[in-house]
Amino acid sequence: MTAAQEIAAGYATEGAALELGTVLIDGAVDPTARVRIPFATLNRHGLVAGATGTGKTKTLQGLAEQLSAAGVPVLLADVKGDLSGLARAGESNPKIESRAVDTGDDWVPTAFPVEFLSLGGGSSAVPIRATITQFGPILLSKVLDLNDTQESTLGLIFHWADQRGLPLLDIKDLRAVIQHLTSDEGKADLKGLGGVSPATAGVILRALVNLEVRGGEAFFGEPEFEPSDLLRQVDGRGVVTLLELADQQADPRLFSTFLMWLLAELFEELPEAGDLDKPKLVFFFDEAHLLFNDASKAFLERIEQTVKLIRSKGVGVFFCTQLPTDVPNAVLSQLGARIQHALRAFTPEDQAALAKTVKTYPTTRNYELDEALTSLGTGEAIITVLSERGAPTPVAWARMRAPRSLMAAIGTDAVTAAAKASPLYARYGETIDRESAYEKLTAKIAEAPAPAPADAPAPPAPEPERRAEREEPGFLEKAFDSPVVKSFLRSAASALGREITRGLFGTRRR
């Protein structure tokens, strides 16, 4: 048995498997020495890493194709917009034909069912949104780049709004609530809860304004996206959902944190599934370093816990980034599959990252890994995964299979046509401006018995100078100035409903 066949023996499976490529040793490839991932272990998560131009995106495309063909829905973050070719059959050429021979692949051009989504408006794809209330204070603090003190203050503000049944649907709702709570009238509402520092509230307000400038205003609002729409099939094939940035000037931190919100929502909503023959959904976190950069210890712990537990819900998660060191060790240790494309070692930092990467692989007598990781050709990768019995497979230098769909973007017009034809467009295509915190509050007041005039507190004395210094009050702030509203907030919180229950990441549990 050759060395290539010995390596391939470690990737043999009894159940269905996702084909990655074939083993390459000393520059020679063996088309019969297959490298694969068992579908049953995909919910043990994975990492796809590599420098720009090494074939990482095509690997993601190939993985998505095979998952879709097996009936497994996929979510891919298409940051650069170059994965839209999944919707069209590929075109044969000499390079693809040569790659098919090397990998023993009976390559056939194939198109796959694709859903095009984007954060907010301004895109040809179907716009999707989330409400501030649903997003929660923890993830919003990450988007706003708040420190621990500011995050706890924002959590207090959400707690107060939750208690009173005030849904924060968009940024202006949250801004109005903060302005109320830091006013002379609102300070009484936070007595006993620790209060809100005007300076800290000012920082949060400025961060909200900056988020609006970066495109966040178009994202937060209604209709709110239902994560269950990711779990769809068409003619027995899993739908591939491509999520792009609607505006390239939008905050990439928002983009990555929104992906975490989707994952947290799936974690809260999906039932326990145990060990499955194949996952319910595979979730690809592209540009994963954006999620972990400057993250607090508490935030990282929640990511680790979510990744650890969501596999029991039948969801597989793959983090995609340039360097494995972009992913914290606590999370990296949870990832069963490693697909590492070429690394660059031009700087001392690159060399340190290379040394750390080598240490994360099992020992092998077939390759000098530090040399191999810098010598990989385009479309080649160093791989190890979990076998069906849960043990790491031998390290394999693999030549990856070529995608069967188009390896190019399909153009804005084609994306627009696909989006307009999608059943999701009727649900999410148009923004709905309704049921703000003000409207919910006034509706509940209208339902409640009107208080006797004698019981209503006297209105506060006018403060013309203070008012002149403040910005023009919005409709929510005007409502809070009403004596009826003040009385209602202090004495009838129970009539407004129970406090919202929040999950691991502070997202609202439905």
Output the pTM of the full model.
0.84
Residue 442 lies in a domain: yes
- Amino acid of residue 354: L
End residue of a domain, out of 388, 417, 446: 417
Q: What angle do CA 115, 96, 237 make, to 5 degrees?
A: 30
- Segments in 136-197 forming alpha helices (H): 137-144, 148-163, 171-181
Record the tokens describing residue 323, joined without a space: 């360097």
Residues whose CB is less than 8 angstroms from the CB of residue 292 and which lie 6 or more positions away in sequence, other chains included: 300, 303, 326, 327, 328, 331
Residues whose CB is less than 8 angstroms from the CB of residue 131 and which lie 6 or more positions away in sequence, other chains included: 167, 168, 169, 170, 220, 221, 222, 224
- Determine contact, residues 167/435, Cβ cutoff 8 Å: yes
Q: What angle do CA 158, 195, 145 make, to 5 degrees?
A: 50
Quote the CA–CA distance of 210 and 275 in Å, as a whole number.
44
96 lies in the same domain as 233: yes
181 lies in the same domain as 145: yes
pLDDT at 491: 36
286 lies in the same domain as 395: yes
End residue of a domain, out of 349, 382, 417: 417
301 lies in the same domain as 157: no
CATH number at residue 47: 3.40.50.300
289 lies in the same domain as 369: yes
179 lies in the same domain as 315: no
pLDDT at 39: 96
Residues whose CB is less than 8 angstroms from the CB of residue 61 and which lie 6 or more positions away in sequence, other chains included: 83, 85, 86, 403, 405, 407
Residue that is written with structure tokens 């009484």 in the block: 188
- Residue ranges making up the domain that contains 139: 132-218+436-496
Quote the CA–CA distance of 425 and 418 in Å, as a whole number.
10
Residue 174 lies in a domain: yes
pLDDT at 190: 65
Record the tokens describing residue 96, joined without a space: 């693809």
Residue 507 lies in a domain: no
Mind listing the pLDDT tens digit of every residue in the chain (510 residues)? 899 999 999 999 999 999 999 999 999 999 999 999 999 999 999 999 999 889 999 999 999 999 999 999 999 988 777 899 999 999 999 999 999 999 999 999 999 999 999 887 667 899 989 999 889 999 999 999 999 889 989 998 898 888 887 888 888 889 888 887 877 777 777 665 676 778 888 899 899 988 888 777 888 888 999 999 999 999 999 999 999 876 544 567 788 888 889 998 999 889 999 889 999 999 998 888 888 887 778 788 888 889 999 999 999 999 999 989 899 988 998 899 999 999 988 888 889 989 999 998 999 999 999 999 999 999 999 999 999 999 999 999 999 999 999 999 998 899 999 999 999 999 998 887 765 554 544 344 345 444 444 444 444 444 433 333 334 444 444 444 444 344 333 333 333 334 567 776 777 665
244 lies in the same domain as 105: yes
> Rounded to an integer, what is the distance from CA 408 to the centroid of its chain?
24
Residue 269 lies in a domain: yes
Number of domains in the chain: 2
Other beta carbons less than 10 A from residue 13's beta carbon: 16
Pairing relationship of beta strands 380-384 and 396-400 according to DSSP bridges: antiparallel
35 lies in the same domain as 108: yes
Residue 462 lies in a domain: yes
- Amino acid of residue 63: L
User: Could you give the C-alpha distances from 417 to 61, 243, 386, 408, 431, in angstroms and in order?
Assistant: 22, 16, 41, 17, 19
pLDDT at 473: 45
Residue 425 lies in a domain: no
Residue that is written with structure tokens 């006018």 in the block: 462
pLDDT at 16: 95
Residue 428 lies in a domain: no
Quote the CA–CA distance of 367 and 371 in Å, as a whole number.
8
Residue 330 lies in a domain: yes
104 lies in the same domain as 48: yes
Quote the CA–CA distance of 489 and 495 in Å, as a whole number.
10
209 lies in the same domain as 345: no
83 lies in the same domain as 144: no
188 lies in the same domain as 67: no
Residue that is written with structure tokens 């400057």 in the block: 294
